Structure 1
Amino acid sequence: MSYPIIICEDNQIQLQQLNKLIENYILFHSNLFKVELQASKPQQVVNYLNEAEPQRGIYFLDIDLQADIDGIQLAEIIRQKDVQAEIIFVTTHDELAPLTLKRKVAALDFIEKDQPLDDYRQELYETLDYAKQIIDETRTVQKKGFSFEVGSQVYNLDKSEVIFLESSDIPHRLNLISTNGQFEFYGKLTELEKKYPFLFRISRSCLINPENIHHVDFSIREVGFSDGSTKKFSIGKSKKLKKIIQETL
């Protein structure tokens, strides 16, 4: 599986330079990544997010994009669409780094444009190395399965045992439906979605394991699972759900 790289830079010369450096990194360092989009306008990235629905993309963004949407606003949109995205700002405005913390876009790095080419390349490649490390660690977590705590007890399930998780009626608690029974524990769906990439959000209140899907009825937007239970999914998830089912099969 390759992870998409998306570049957004309004300056064509800088866009071409950044793309060339990234392509050289991919050629000599890793086939884990693939440049999927070179955009000079933020709306192109928004369109890509809506059409391709990428997962765990690597986004290189300028902050001043000379458009109605700046790089930080674009990062906020990306974070909503691609929850596990790695966002890297390539900019002359590193003084805006504190603003990204305030806006909770969780940037992986800030790379200064106005530096010698060798330094620029080195910093860029070190950031890609780090992104690759994060992805590798995430894959390791995914293979290990699913862990949670109930009181003083820690449970470790194989990921194949997880059917779905949903918000409990009790605030800050989640219900886990597994092949071994039902559990309730403290947690947040957003945090689990980031930690366990095998989980897919079908609605605001439910994460599912596609491996345990038995059937999907798109006419009534309902997923049926291996244990006989069913859950409704949001209309906006239909396209992505079809794609995931095809990949799982």
Structure 2
Amino acid sequence: MLHVFILEDDHDQQRHLKMMIEKISREISLTAVDFHLFNSTDQLKLNLPLSSKDNVYILDLEINGIKTAGLELSKLIRQHDELANIIFITVHDEFVYTTYKYRVSALDFIAKDRENIYEELKRDFIHIKNEIQSSNKEKFTYRIYSEVTKIPLDKICYFTTNTANYHSCIMYTTDNKEIQLNYNLHKIEKLNPHFFRAQRSYLINPSQVRQVDFLNHTIFFYNGSSCPISRRHEKALFKLITKRNNLNN
């Protein structure tokens, strides 16, 4: 569920923002949105939620005559909630620079006196939805030297043995990148059962398989790449893909 916190001291504008976001939610299929409306910074301070990527703060800069009240509050919010998205809506364009000076990592800064508030909010909520969906996807974690990296499983096509170093392998991604990993296929297979051993030197992601050519013993992926499959593994792969397709239908 998405939790939207609106800080606006004008009740009409507060209701208007809520109605716009409700309409946007329907248009982009956000099935659950929980609204929290505030007309003072003190009210919102007393109702700050637990830190979450599902929190969205829409703040007016000027509250009860204090032009920087929203900015001051945003610093507190960011200290309390590093994962949330913050959107400023105000007539004070001169505070754009100040927003970045306060280093609150605001997602957007929307001027009230423009006619495209709805379009800009919609763009922001599409971005938020995509970010949440991406973060919720199951990921493959790997280490390159001291850096730990995570990549969604659905971004991986296959792994193949590195012929120059049999203690490592090469990961091929859906956007045609080649990433060398300091793991052999056996270790990856053991750590993540999602992948399928298509051939001695190939470990594939079944969810990225578009077609299997059983005559030529070749797997084709959605991104256009391909790899071989051994005869003895074809039947197991066919069952796996069939089961996946049945679950998705």
* TM-score scaled by length of structure 1: 0.54
Residue correspondence of structure 1 range 90-101 to structure 2 within 5 A: 90-101=89-100
CA deviation vs aligned residue, 1:97-137 (integer Å, no higher than 9, x gap): 22121211000001111123xx2211211111112122222
Q: Which 5+ residue runs of structure 1 have no aligned equivalent?
A: 159-249
Secondary structure of the structure 1 residue equivalent to 2:47 = helix
Q: d(CA) in 2 for partners of 1:157 and 1:135?
A: 15
Could you tell me which runs of 5 or more consecutive residues in structure 2 were left unpaired when the two chains were aligned.
153-249
Q: Which residue pairs with 2:127 in the alignment?
A: 130
- Work out the CA distance in 2 between the residues paired with 1:74 and 1:115: 24
> For the residues of structure 2 that align with 1:137 and 1:150, how far apart are their CA atoms?
25
Q: Report the RMSD for the aligned CA atoms in angstroms.
A: 2.6
Give, in angstroms, the shift of residue 29 of structure 1. 2.0
Letter matched to residue 137 of structure 1: S
Give the structure 1 partner of residue 180 of structure 2: none
The letter of the residue matching 2:62 is: D
Structure 1 residue runs of 4 or more that deviate by more than 3 Å after TM superposition: 145-151, 153-158
Matched length:
150
Specify the alignment match of 2:164 in structure 1. Answer: none
User: 1:43 maps to what in 2?
Assistant: 42
Q: Distance in 2 between matches of 1:127 and 1:10?
A: 22
The alpha-carbon deviation at position 96 of structure 1 amounts to: 1.0
Instruction: Quote how far apart the aligned CAs of 1:30 are.
Output: 2.3
Note if contact 1:5-1:33 (Cα within 8 Å) is conserved in structure 2: no
Correspondences of 1:166-177 after superposition (within 5 Å): none
CA contact (8 A) 1:4 1:54 kept: no
Separation of aligned partners in 1, 2:126 and 2:150? 30
Q: Deviations over 1:153-195 (max 9, x none)?
A: 867799xxxxxxxxxxxxxxxxxxxxxxxxxxxxxxxxxxxxx
Partner of 2:61: 63
> What is the TM-score with the length of structure 2 in the denominator?
0.54
Name the larger-Rg structure: 2
**SS at the partner of 1:95?**
helix
SS in 2 for 1:107: coil
Q: Percent identity?
A: 29
Alpha-carbon shift at residue 54 of structure 1 (Å): 4.6
Alpha-carbon distance in structure 1 between the residues aligned to 2:60 and 2:22 = 18
Q: How does 1:187-206 map to 2 (within 5 A)?
A: none
**Cα distance change of structure 1 residues 21 and 43 upon mapping to structure 2, 3 Å threshold:** same
For residues 157 and 93 of structure 1, the distance between their equivalents in structure 2, rounded to whole angstroms, comes to: 40
CA separation in 2, counterparts of 1:28 and 1:74?
30
Q: Distance in 2 between matches of 1:29 and 1:155?
A: 30
In structure 1, how many angstroms separate the alpha carbons of the residues matched to 2:117 and 2:19? Answer: 13
